Homo-oligomer: A and B are copies of this chain.
Amino acid sequence: MQPEDYEKLRDVTLFSELSEETFGALTKGAFLQRFPSQTVLFNQGDLPDFLYVLLEGGVQFTGTAPDQREAVVEILKPIDAFMPAAVLTNTSYLVSAKVVHPARILMVPAAAVQHAIAHDANLSLAMLASLSRQYRALLRQVKDLKLRTSTQRLGCYLLALAAESGSNGQVELPHDKRLIAARLGMTPESLSRAFSSLRTMGVEVRGHRIRLTDVSKLRQYCRPDRLIDSSEPELKVVSAA
């Protein structure tokens, strides 16, 4: 690992509060690698070999049904660690992970994590914060899936993208439409239908560029909700001495 990588990793929230010793133990046996798009990192059902830390790029989690149909459970953005729950409890991955945008990933051997967690209470706290955020993201998603029609879901997704980019109604889709459909729990056909329905709410589509020409009408129809749509910043465990 290059010294500049070492510095950069030290700043990752998961690692920033660790003792020099723990940080050294975690990174010593770790691999920092670039992966091209479509690389499969692991398959559902596998036992966890590594804690992965996504530093750049994008990774999708896929669930596969016995009949081989696939659902995209989540698309991870940097910087985030996956899958802490499986690694910490040594239970099989429930989803597969595949690179969807060329990625730079730190792979920390599961054994090193399990060893470090016995020695540095700050690692437990950092993992609790990371896992809390991921738990809450899934809770938001379950609400999104159960409370909204697919058209509302797409509308809220576009509004969230517009808010993130701060672009006043100009949105660039961050993934191809097939992947967005799968993430939102729709077929590509129902995504097209949903885009058509949203046309009357001022949603104009040109390939990957979307213009929201009447945000208040769209909000009125989709009812965005901060308890579903806000993407949470890094969390920190409140521990009072």
Contact = CB atoms under 8 A, between A and B. Distances in A.
Interface in A48-65: 63, 65
Most B CB atoms within 10 A — which of A44, A71, A95, A146? A146
Interface of A: 44-45, 63, 65-67, 69-74, 84-86, 88-92, 94-95, 111, 114-115, 117-119, 121, 124-125, 127-129, 131-136, 138-143, 145-148, 185, 223, 225, 227-228, 232, 235-241
B185 A145 contact: yes
B146 A185 contact: yes
Contact of A143 (B63, B88, B147): B63
B89 A147 contact: no
A238 B63 contact: no
A108 to B, nearest CB: 14
A111 B44 contact: no
14 contacts: A65-B147, A71-B147, A74-B142, A85-B132, A86-B132, A89-B236, A91-B132, A94-B139, A94-B140, A95-B143, A118-B239, A131-B131, A131-B135, A138-B139
Contact of A88 (B67, B89, B118, B128): B128
Contacts of A185: 145-146
Contacts of A148: 65
B129 A128 contact: no
